Structure 1
Amino acid sequence: MKNLLIGLLFLGFTNLMFSQSSYESDDLILLKYKTATAVNSHYLSAVLEPRIAKRVDALESKVAQYDITKQSIFDNRSRAYHVTFEEQNDYKGSITAHFDARGNLTKSNERFKDVILPYTVRYAVSLAYPDCIFKNNTYYVNYSLKQGTEKIYKIKVLTSKGSYETLRVDPQGNLM
C-alpha cells in the first residue's frame, strides 16, 4: 500500500512537470518573422498592423517576400506588372500588387472579407452602438509608395433598434 501511494505521488509530480513546458508565444514568432529582410520591406512596414488577423498578415508577408524579377514573365521591357495574390481555403481575401518596370512594388489594393476585428475597433463600435450585432466586415488597405497607406474597416452592424448600419472605422478605432 505504501509503495502504491508513493507511486501515485511520484506520477502526480511528473505530470505537473510536463505542464510547465515552455513554448513560444505568437508575438515572439511574429517578431522573429517580421525582422527577416523582405524584398519589399517598405511595403511591409507601411501595411503592418500590430493586432491584425493572422491570415491578413500571412498574405501581406507573402507579397513582401515576392520578387517579380525572379519570375519568367519579367523582361525589363514592360511598363508595369500586376500580380494578384488570393487566399486559399474558402477565405475571401486578395491583394493586387502593382510593380514598375524595374520590379519595385509601387502600390497595392487589398480586400479581406470577414476578418477578426482588432479589440480597438470592436470596442469603438460597441461604444458608439451599444448592444449591436456585428454582421460582416471587410478590411481594405490601399498602399502607394508615393501617396502613403490608407486602412479602413467597413463593418455592417444590426443596431438595437433593428436597423442595419454600415460603419467605416480606422485601425485605431476612429469612426469615420
Structure 2
Amino acid sequence: MKKLLLGLLAIGLTTQFYAQVINEGMLPEVEVRATNYKYLNSVDNSEAAVPVQLLEDMVAKFDIKSSEFYEDQSDFYRVYFYIPDGMIVAAYDRDGKILYTIEKFKDIALPYSVASSIAEKFPKWTIAKDVYKVSYTADQPAKKSYKIVLKNGKKTIRIKVDEEGEVL
C-alpha cells in the first residue's frame, strides 16, 4: 500500500513540474486598439433599438485593412452596411478610423424618453411610422433625430423630435 501511494505521489509531482515550464516567445504579441471608440461614445446606442445597436457595433468593429478592397494608395473608403430595418454609410480613412457616418432606420422601437414625451404632448395620437436618423462626424457629437407620423382616426400629422423627445 505504501508503494502504491508513493508511486501515485511521484507521478502527481512529475506532472506538476512539466506544468511550470514557461517558454517565453511562444505567444506572439497582441496589439489592442480601440480605433472607433469615439464613434461609439458619440452615438451612445445604449437606449437604441437592437437593430441599431447591432449595426453600429458592426460599423465600429469593421476592419478596413483586412477587407478585399483595401489599397495602400487610397486615403478614403466609403462602406455601406444594410439590414432590413435600416442602413449606415460609413467613411473610413486608411487607418480604419471613422470619418463620418450617415444612418437611417425605419420603424424601430423608440427610446422611452422619446415615446413618453410624444405620448405626453400628443395624447390620443398613435405612432404610425418613424424614421431614426443619425449624423456623425469625427470629433463632433452625433446629431440624432426622429421623424414620426402620428395618427388620430383619419387625422395625420408629421413631427420631428430630437433624442430627448423635444419637438423641433
1:114-160 alpha-carbon deviations (Å, 9 max, x no partner): 00011111111111111001100010000000443100111100136
The structure with the largest alpha-carbon Rg is 2
User: What's the C-alpha RMSD, in Å, of the aligned pairs?
Assistant: 1.8
In structure 2, list runs of 5 or more residues that go unmatched: 1-31
Q: Give ranges in structure 1 of 5+ residues lacking alignment.
A: 1-35
Q: Are 1:170 and 2:162 matched, yes or no?
A: yes
Where in structure 1 do 4 or more consecutive aligned residues deviate above 6 Å? none
Q: Which amino acid aligns with 1:92?
A: D
Q: How many residue pairs align between the two structures?
A: 137
AA in 2 matched with 1:148: P
- State the Cα deviation string for residues 72-108 of structure 1 (Å, max 9, x = none): 2111212311100111xxx230000001233321000
CA contact (8 A) 1:40 1:66 kept: no
TM-score normalised to structure 1 length? 0.72
Aligned partner of 2:58: which letter?
Answer: K
Aligned to 1:107: 100
Amino acid at match of 1:101: R
Q: Does residue 139 in structure 1 map to residue 135 in structure 2?
A: no
Secondary structure class of the residue paired with 1:148: coil
Q: CA 1:174 to 1:64, structure 2 compared with 1: closer, same or farther past 3 Å?
A: same
Instruction: State the 1:61 CA deviation.
Output: 0.5
- Provide Cα deviations, 1:40-97, integer angstroms capped at 9, x if missing partner: 111111112321101110110011110101112111212311100111xxx2300000
Q: Percent identity between the aligned chains?
A: 31
Is 1:83 aligned to 2:75, yes or no?
Answer: no
TM-score norm. by structure 2 comes to 0.75
Q: CA deviation at 1:37?
A: 6.9
